[in-house]
Chain A
Amino acid sequence: MHNDNFLAQYVLDGAWDEMCRPDGSARNHYVELMRRMQHITPQELQQRQQVADDTFLAQGVTFTVYGHEAGTEKIFPFDLIPRIITDREWRRVEQGLTQRITALNMFLHDIYHDEHILNDGIVPRDLVYSCRHYRREMRGVNVPQGIYINVTGSDLIRLPNGEFVVLEDNLRVPSGVSYMLVNRQMSKQVFPQLFDHYNVQAVEQYGQMLLSTLRSLAPHTSEPNIVLLTPGSYNSAYFEHTYLARQMGIQLVEGRDLVVHNNTVYMRTTSGLQKVDVIYRRIDDDFIDPLVFRTDSVLGVPGLMHAYRAGNVAIANALGTGVADDKALYAYVPAMIKYYSGQEPIINNVETYLLSERSQRQYVLDNLASLVVKAVGESGGYGMLIGPQSTAAQRSEFATRISQDPRGYIAQPTLQLSRAPCIIDGQLEARHVDLRPYILYGDRVTIVPGGLTRVALTRGSLVVNSSQGGGSKDTWVLYADKE
């Protein structure tokens, strides 16, 4: 069986194509994948896709969509074709992210202690203090091992010249790693021979690595009691919380399961209270302790902040890390890297206009139709204006919002995210993708090879978020000898 037509819909444009060179020939590491695709009929592809979707639904691999009736569960669309990254490409990403995360962690320690970087005028003091995620309560607090950002996920995109750049850092409670893990299980089931042919670096050790990272935060206890704190079953990422708790063999707790007594955190079990040493929290700062932050929060644990400040419990990530992934402070990350390490950034930022600066603001207002505007405090693809796809009304609405709250927005050029092959109606088509690697920071920085490749499944769309019609695919980082 030979399917000559399988590339009929595969159109190249200005964006970097992960699979093809500009002349249409396959890049070396995609040759074998392309060859095998020629021997699979569209019907067969659709069958395999159906198997994958059914498996996800049956396993409850779903996320909750907000804004619909409570409990609307959907599967995160999975595309069968893996995204392949060479060892050489990956090594550079790994070095760049290690450098970046190390600098961001130093920045957090600095602004909550001596403020050298502010005193030296590298980062504007105003920008830090005006950030909604800056936590006064963290001033002078010494977090375990000095590590604030134990689990992060930075979003990378690939420019038309093939260069990886960081689009944003997620330093609070990044999600999606469970999809990385289930996607790998699935692609092994769907393409076992192809997987065997490629020499793919494993990701399955993530649960163990995360557990070691969390353990390292409680160095004085040989058997620390580690729990995962979830907002509960209505949270969109609840599946992930249950999945990770199971992978690590730790308790999945809600705020109401924990009590603080004499600045010590306990969990309520049927046989009495048990001391908790480390909390991997999947709940935002705002909701974590109603005595200190939002008083209307019923998700958190009253008194937790006091226990934390007393050093009786470790919380991962630390509180107040959101200040370093603020979209306006993002523009200063290259300067932070130079300031703390004396090195040039290995991975660059995307060019960013700060709207609190008068000259940059004017430029942005004049060029809204070609730029992307983002609200600094939003994530998940909400609060965005994509200039080239916007209407005049939307642009004037954003112009008003920017004038009223310049600190609340940033602008970036509209970037052509790289494109990778996806199965759309049984044919291969190119769709825009990004990459979110997951970075763990305990005793040292470790990154599982690959991460979550998110796909904008709508033709031409640049938005990869699951809440906005995005999907995902498995990411294969190859070992060096197969390149």
Chain B
Amino acid sequence: MAMLSRVADSLYWMSRYLERTEHTARLLDVTQHQLIDVDITASQQRWHRLWQALHYNEAMAGSREPAPIVELFTADSHYPDSLVASITAARENARQVREHISSEMWEQINRLYLDIRQQVQGHHWKQATHRFYGMVKAGSHLFQGITDATMIHDEGWNFIQMGRALERANNTASLLHSHLGILQSASDEQGVHHAEWVALLKMCSAFEAYCKVHTPEVTPPRMIQFVVYDAVFPRSIRFCADSIHAATIAIDAKHTRGHGQRVQRVAGKFQAMLEYGGVDDQLATLAHNIVQVQAGCSQIGAALHEVHIDYAVDSTLSN
């Protein structure tokens, strides 16, 4: 049976919003729990980078103090980029397509939503923030595992993979962008910035994996190589590009009309950029490359939307 565009769109956004929930939780968690050992200036800079990575809108929210902003990003359901708003959007998209996901998937995302709501409404999360963010991350991982284990790996599943990989690539690019300063200026004073680099790796959930490949000796070039270009680390942008490309091929294979190849071409170009890039002086070109990644993500998202979801009516009629 053909898949309704609306259903594909909801699966895609369910997946994106859940990934965003997890990303927000991880950033807030790492920033708060690395702060203990740094001085006041470094602390301010770190908060500043976090707000930048999360696209904090000061005009809209009006605060400059860390504590209220952390609360905003965690618990304010009216703030569109908050953790609680993201999980609500993810769950609402899932609710729209309950018939198309497995009941185990629905139960997990619904449970995660209810748990977060309960923690936030009762202000319990503040008593043990680390545990709270950990619960959110684990809930998201569990959902992904359940999805792989219980849902048919058909077109809908590929839209889910696509949403997650695109969101992750985009989030990682934003994160690197907000850390350009400490990555580029600091190559001569390693001791000072070491803690920041470790924090950055942790925000990408990459520290342990990095150590296995490169030992704990952290240097910006190696970090970039790992977080952007590594072929087998599942949170690298390169890895995401591979997933996106594979998903577009699988989605297009279902379609006889051939109009979907535009998405595949854009995704293929993006994948090639990451597979064959990364050999030059990465630090010098990092800013440029990040912009390229962000542009690529938004092109793929737009192409997907225009070809499969909100296409013009006469574009698909043969007569």
Q: Contact check, B5 vs A268: say whether CB atoms are below 8 A apart.
A: yes
- A273 and B4 contact, CB distance less than 8 A: no
CB distance from A211 to the nearest CB of B (A): 14
Contact yes or no, B259 A268, CB < 8 A: no
Max chain A C-beta neighbours (<10 A), residue from B2, B3, B251:
B2
How far, in angstroms, from A137 to B147 measured CA to CA in the complex? 48
Are A233 and B96 closer than 8 Å at their CB atoms?
yes
Contacts of B6 in A (CB 8 A): 254, 256-257, 268
Show the binding face of B for A, using Cβ within 8 Å. 1-6, 8, 95-96, 98-99, 155, 251, 254-257, 259-260, 308-309, 311, 313-314, 316-317
Q: In the complex the two chains form, is B255's CB within 8 Å of A270's CB?
A: yes
User: A273 near B99 (CB under 8 angstroms)?
Assistant: no
Known pairs A233-B95, A242-B98, A242-B99; A269 contacts B313 (CB<8 A): no
Query: What mask results when residues 238 to 264 of chain A are scored 1 for a CB within 8 Å of chain B, else 0?
Result: 000010011001011110110101000
Enumerate chain A residues within 8 angstroms of B308, measured Cβ to Cβ: 270-271
Nearest A residue to B100, CB-CB: A252
Are the CB atoms of B4 and A251 closer together than 8 Å? yes
In whole Å, how far is B100's beta carbon from the nearest beta carbon of chain A?
10
Task: Give the residues in chain B near A256, CB-CB below 8 Å.
Answer: 6
> Are B98 and A267 in touch, CB under 8 angstroms?
no
Residues of chain B within 8 A of A272, CB atoms compared: 255, 257, 259, 311, 316
Q: Which residue of A lies closest to B106 (CB)?
A: A60
Determine how close the nearest CB of chain A comes to the CB of B267; give it in whole angstroms.
15
- Candidates A60, A245, A249, A270; contact of B5 at CB < 8 Å: A270
> Within the complex, what minimum Cβ distance (angstroms) separates A98 from chain B?
34
A274 at the interface (CB under 8 A from B): yes
Contact yes or no, A269 B5, CB < 8 A: yes
Nearest chain-B residue to A225 (Cβ)? B2
A–B pairs, 24, beta carbons within 8 Å: A232-B96, A233-B98, A246-B99, A249-B1, A254-B6, A257-B4, A257-B6, A261-B313, A261-B314, A267-B4, A268-B6, A268-B309, A269-B2, A269-B4, A270-B4, A270-B255, A270-B308, A271-B2, A271-B3, A271-B257, A272-B255, A272-B311, A272-B316, A273-B313
Chain A: interface residue count, which band?
20 to 34
Interface centre among B257, B309, B314, B316 (most CB of A within 10 A): B316
Chain A residues near B254 (CB, 8 Å)?
270-271
Q: Which residues of B contact A267 (CB under 8 A)?
A: 4
Residues on the A chain within 8 Å of B256, using CB: 271
Which residues from chain A contact B260 at a C-beta distance below 8 Å?
271
Among all A-B residue pairs, the 3 with the closest Cβ atoms: A272-B316, A269-B2, A268-B5
Residues of chain B with a CB closer than 8 A to A252's CB: 99
A366-402 CB mask vs B (1 if < 8 Å, else 0) is: 0000000000000000000000000000000000000
Chain A, Cβ-Cβ closest to B310: A268
**Bound CA–CA A367/B262 (angstroms):** 74
Interface string of A210-247 (1 = CB under 8 A from B): 00000000000000000000001100000000100110
Given known pairs A60-B98, A233-B95, A252-B99, the reply for A270 and B2 (CB within 8 Å) is: yes
Identity of the chain A residue whose Cβ is nearest the Cβ of B257 in the assembled complex: A272
CB-nearest residue of chain A relative to B318?
A272
Cα of A270 to Cα of B283 in the assembled complex, Å: 40
> Bound state CA distance, A246 and B100, in angstroms?
11
Q: Give the Cβ gap from A135 to chain B, nearest Cβ, in Å.
A: 27
Asked whether A253 lies within 8 Å of B99 as measured between CB atoms, the reply is: no
CB of A303, distance to nearest CB on chain B (Å): 11
Beyond the given A233-B98, A256-B6, A272-B259, please list 4 additional residue pairs across the A-B interface where CB-CB is below 8 A.
A268-B4, A270-B2, A272-B311, A274-B2
Q: Would you give the shortest CB distance from B319 to chain A, in whole angstroms?
A: 9
Expressed in whole angstroms, the Cα–Cα distance for A246 and B103 within the complex equals 14
Interchain CA distance A249-B50 in the complex, whole Å: 49
Minimum CB–CB distance for B34 against chain A, Å: 39
A274 to B255, CA, bound (A): 13
Known contacts A254-B6, A273-B313; is A245 also within 8 Å of B255 by CB?
no
Chain A, residue nearest B1 (CB): A251
What B residues does A253 contact at CB under 8 A?
4
CA distance A271 to B261 in the complex (A): 11
Residues of A within 8 A of B257 (CB): 271-272
How far, in Å, is A233 (CB) from chain B's closest CB? Answer: 6
Closest CB in chain B relative to A59 CB, distance in Å: 9
Provide the residues of chain B in CB contact with A233, threshold 8 Å. Answer: 95-96, 98
Measured CA separation A273–B312 after assembly (Å): 10
Q: Which of B99, B259, B314 contacts A245 (CB 8 A)?
A: B99
Are B95 and A257 in contact, CB atoms less than 8 angstroms apart? no
Please give, as numbers and ranges, the residues of chain A lying within 8 Å of B255 by CB-CB distance: 270-272
CB distance from B105 to the nearest CB of A (A): 13
CB neighbours (8 Å) of B316 from chain A are 272-273
B5 touches A261 (CB 8 A): no
Nearest opposing residue in chain B for A273, CB measure: B316
Q: How far is the CA of A253 from the CA of B97 in the complex (A)?
A: 11
Q: Which residues does chain A contribute within 8 Å of B4, judged by CB atoms?
A: 251, 253, 257, 267-270
Which residues from chain B contact A271 at a C-beta distance below 8 Å?
2-3, 254-257, 260, 308
Query: Which B residue sits closest to A271, measured CB to CB?
Result: B255
Least distance between A304 CB and chain B CB atoms (Å)? 14
